[in-house]
Amino acid sequence: MLAIFKREMRAYFTDPLGYVFLAVFLFVCNLNFYLSNLTNFQSDFSPIFLNMILFLTLLIPLMTMRLWSDEKKQKTDQLLLTAPVSTTSVVLGKFSAAMALFLIGLAFTVVYPILVNAKGVLDVGKTVGNYVGIILVAAAYISISLFVSSLTKSQIVSAICSILALALFVGMDLLVNFSTSPILNTIFVFLSLVTRYRNIFIGVLPLSDIFYFISVTGIFLFLTSRVIEKQRWS
């Protein structure tokens, strides 16, 4: 697992991909901070995180599209799958590398609360809650995109399908408008990320919502390892 993690991290930073991700991520975050906090004299950070949820649906697939698709295309998966390591640990290695890259980006944004705290009143609980929330969301995003990447050899297909999958994941509760079945509606609302994030947004961290994000992450990591394992049986 550590070997995979190290290789993927190295790849992020020898390839421009890692830098591009960090640059775009921080550019959008900074713009948000400037517009919503600095120009409005606002000490509340939650709008930044709400925006992050949206633009990460575009950014995270670009960061994860390579993870499996490229291995399949270059046939380097033959090395990984015949090495004395379990498929699960390979999947976890890749997941943690993508997660680490995101956390590096997120770490830079800690400057904002520090700045606000120096000159104004900071709602520490709400800020910490939002940070925990966005990490959970990113984990779920990465897990879903990693799963999509395991399905195809093409990075472009992987990225586009991941963006669609994440958009569906985020916008699940909008489907309520198109359905008249109460059972379906309950399911849509239950599965929707936005419903889940509403509590976190106002600074509450219900255990059920934390569990929801961890479950989604876990399920898709499991599915990814199943997909990889299934190739042996094709």
Partner 1 sequence: MIEVKNLTKKYGSNLAVDNISFHIKKGEIVGFLGPNGAGKSTTMNMITGYLSATGGNATIAGYDVLDEALEARRHVGYLPEQPPLYMDMTVNEYLSFVFDLKKVRHKTKKDHLAEVCKLVDIEHVRHRIIGNLSKGYKQRVGIAQALIGDPDVLILDEPTVGLDPNQIVEIRDMIKGLGRERTIILSTHILPEVSAVCERVLVINKGVIVADGSADQLTAGVSNDIRYIARIEGKTDEVLGILSGIEGVIEAKLQKQVGAVGGDFAITLESEDVRKKIFFAMADREIPILSMQADTVTLEDVFATLTANDSTKLIFDQEEEGNE
Contact residues for partner 1, defined by CB under 8 A: 2-4, 6-7, 10-11, 14-15, 74-86, 232-234
- Closer CB to partner 1, 75 or 119, in the complex: 75
- Closer CB to partner 1, 72 or 196, in the complex: 72
- Closer CB to partner 1, 11 or 210, in the complex: 11
Minimum Å gap between C-beta 15 and partner 1 is 6
Minimum Å gap between C-beta 75 and partner 1 is 5
Minimum Å gap between C-beta 172 and partner 1 is 36
User: Which of 95, 15, 16, 88 has its CA nearest to residue 60?
Assistant: 95
Alpha helices (H) in 150-206, listed in sequence order: 155-170, 182-191, 193-201
Query: CA dist 212 to 24, 81, 137, 162, Å?
Result: 28, 31, 10, 20
- Closer CB to partner 1, 10 or 23, in the complex: 10
Gap between the Cα atoms of 159 and 180, Å rounded: 32
Gap between the Cα atoms of 185 and 175, Å rounded: 8
Which residue type, as a one-letter code, is found at position 13? F
Task: Put residue 41 in one of left, alpha, beta given phi > 0 → left and psi -120 to 50 → alpha.
Answer: left
Minimum Å gap between C-beta 8 and partner 1 is 10
